[in-house]
Amino acid sequence: MPSLSLPDMLTANSDATTPLAQLLHLPTLDETYGALLLGSFVGLLLYGVVVHQAYRYIQMYKDDHLVNKLTVLSLIVIDTAHCIACIHSCYVYLVSSYSDPLALLYGIWSIQCQPLLAGLAVLVSQSFFARRVYIISEKYRFLVVISLLLTFVTFGFSIAGTVVAFKLHIFTQYEHYYWMDSAACAAAVAADALTTSVLTITLRQSRTGYRHTDTLIDRLVLYTINTGLLTGIANCSALVFAIARPDTFIWIGIEIVAMRLYSNSVLALLNSRRSLRAPAGSNNLELSTRALYGSDDLPGGSGSQKSANLRTLERATTVLRLPEATTSSGHL
């Protein structure tokens, strides 16, 4: 009598609707909890960078505006909670449930709440960047509003995904809701691209022809592209796997990394403000034509255009909230 393999025996003696039979149709462990474990590893490494950046921020900007302080505090709390959830889920599935394969089918609180925490991190980070773009870019404010709407769409799908995860319990029952994951990733990609593009275009249009001023603009553009590019690549990768392999956790592992990149982008921008001072190194960053160049006359092009460009640059640097920079209505 020919011998049967364990999967064949389980298939022959199990109804297709039972958890035991459903276990046989799950993707490989590498594509599910292996991807979750690797994403958690990289996420924890980046969390260390987040903590370091937060420490530097506290040391350098003790008198910073309340909005910035609350943003940093929110990101630290969200990232810490998300790291705890990642560690707990990996330990439960890969250690505590090592002798109980059926446990791989069922969701636990630490993995079910991760979409909500990721959505919160994206919401806080994107709102931070959108606020700054809205202030410095009067011409493209309608695009910033669209970007914010896309961010709230991402957050909405994150809430819905968490609710569904707590309601269904078994992962195989989630197949009818895979589209929500893809939609959330797509909205995040669109919001990233829109915010980064608007800020880059606005800053590039603000070039005045003066070396010191244009150098500062180039630095701002570089920071903008770098921060937007990293999160954009991560979100695009997650979107591809969410569409191509929605039954795996590969896209979840990538989203864990993307979430840390959002937090690091915000903190890196906040901590870079001192390095973006005027090249002359003066303590007073008063970005006006008289303060920078000793004259109200702007050579090269129309005076009105140069003045408009300098006003945009002034808004951009003020938004970065250098200790000496203020707006006419007070600190941002």
The answer to the question of residue 73 being in a domain is yes
Tell me whether residue 14 is in a domain: no
Q: How far is CA 72 from CA 194, 201, 262, 271, in A?
A: 23, 27, 12, 11
CATH of the domain at 117: 1.20.1070
Full-model pTM? 0.77
**pLDDT reported for residue 161:** 94
Domain count, the chain: 1
Return the number of other C-beta atoms located less than 10 Å from residue 280's C-beta: 8
Do the domain assignments include residue 134? yes
Using the predicted structure, report yes or no on whether residue 206 has a pLDDT greater than 60: yes
Query: Is residue 285 in some structural domain?
Result: no
**Each residue of 185-205: pLDDT tens digit?**
999 999 999 988 888 887 777
Could you tell me which residues are beta bridge partners of residue 106? 170
Phi-psi region of 210 (alpha: psi -120 to 50; beta: other; left: phi over 0): beta
With 90 as the cut, is the pLDDT of residue 263 above it? Answer: yes
| pLDDT(221) > 80 | no
What pLDDT, on the 0 to 100 scale, is given for residue 89? Answer: 96
| pLDDT number for residue 22 | 63
For residues 66 and 224, which has the higher predicted lDDT (pLDDT)?
66
pLDDT at residue 108 is higher than 60:
yes
In a domain, 281, yes or no: no
In the block, residue with structure tokens 């937007």 = 228
pLDDT tens figures, 295-327: 333 333 444 554 555 455 555 544 444 333 333
pLDDT bucket at 10, cuts 50 / 70 / 90: very low
Residue 284 lies in a domain: no
Looking at per-residue pLDDT, the higher value among 315 and 237 belongs to 237
Asked if residue 330 is part of any domain, the answer here is no
Average pLDDT for 96-107: 87
pLDDT at position 51, please? Answer: 97
Q: For residue 100, what pLDDT is reported?
A: 86
pLDDT bin (cut points 50, 70, 90) of residue 331 is: very low
> Residues 49-74: pLDDT tens digits?
999 999 999 999 998 999 999 999 99
- Full residue range of the structural domain in which residue 110 is found: 35-273+300-319
Please name the residue ranges forming H helices in the chain: 6-13, 19-24, 33-60, 66-91, 109-112, 114-136, 141-168, 178-204, 211-244, 250-271, 289-293, 303-319
Average pLDDT, the chain: 79
pLDDT at residue 172 is higher than 90: no
Percentage of residues of the chain with pLDDT beyond 70: 73
Residue 11 forms part of a structural domain: no
Q: What is the pLDDT of residues 112-144, one digit of tens each?
A: 999 999 999 999 999 998 888 888 777 888 988
